[in-house]
């Protein structure tokens, strides 16, 4: 079965995707109505969400997050 793909992008009337005041509340409210099985988005989207919503409790990164768990063999 082929996946159903929805491309949801805020654009200006002249086709730009940056440099205009997008209504983010409406943008994400519309996206939430589709109830997708998966969502792909870029890192800039995540960083923008954290900047605009300081109530999100995102833990800081640390080196341990990037190491494999103890007891696993080294990758080939």
The 10s digit of each residue's pLDDT in 33-57 is 888 888 888 888 777 777 777 777 7
Instruction: Say what the pLDDT of residue 46 is.
Output: 76
Q: What is the pLDDT averaged over residues 1-22? A: 86
Calculate what percentage of the chain has a pLDDT beyond 90: 3
For residue 13, pLDDT over 80 is answered with yes
Instruction: Say what the pLDDT of residue 38 is.
Output: 80
> What's the distance, Cα to Cα, between the start and end of the chain in Å?
34
Question: In the chain, what are the domain boundaries?
Answer: 1-76
Q: Could you tell me the pTM of the whole model?
A: 0.48
């Amino acid at each position: 079965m082929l996946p159903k793909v929805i491309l949801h992008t805020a654009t200006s009337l002249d086709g730009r995707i940056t440099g205009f005041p997008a209504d983010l509340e409406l943008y994400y409210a519309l996206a939430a109505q589709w109830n997708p099985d998966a969502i792909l988005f870029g890192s800039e989207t995540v960083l923008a969400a954290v900047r605009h919503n300081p109530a999100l409790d995102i833990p800081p990164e640390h080196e341990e997050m990037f190491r494999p768990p103890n007891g696993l063999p080294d990758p080939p």
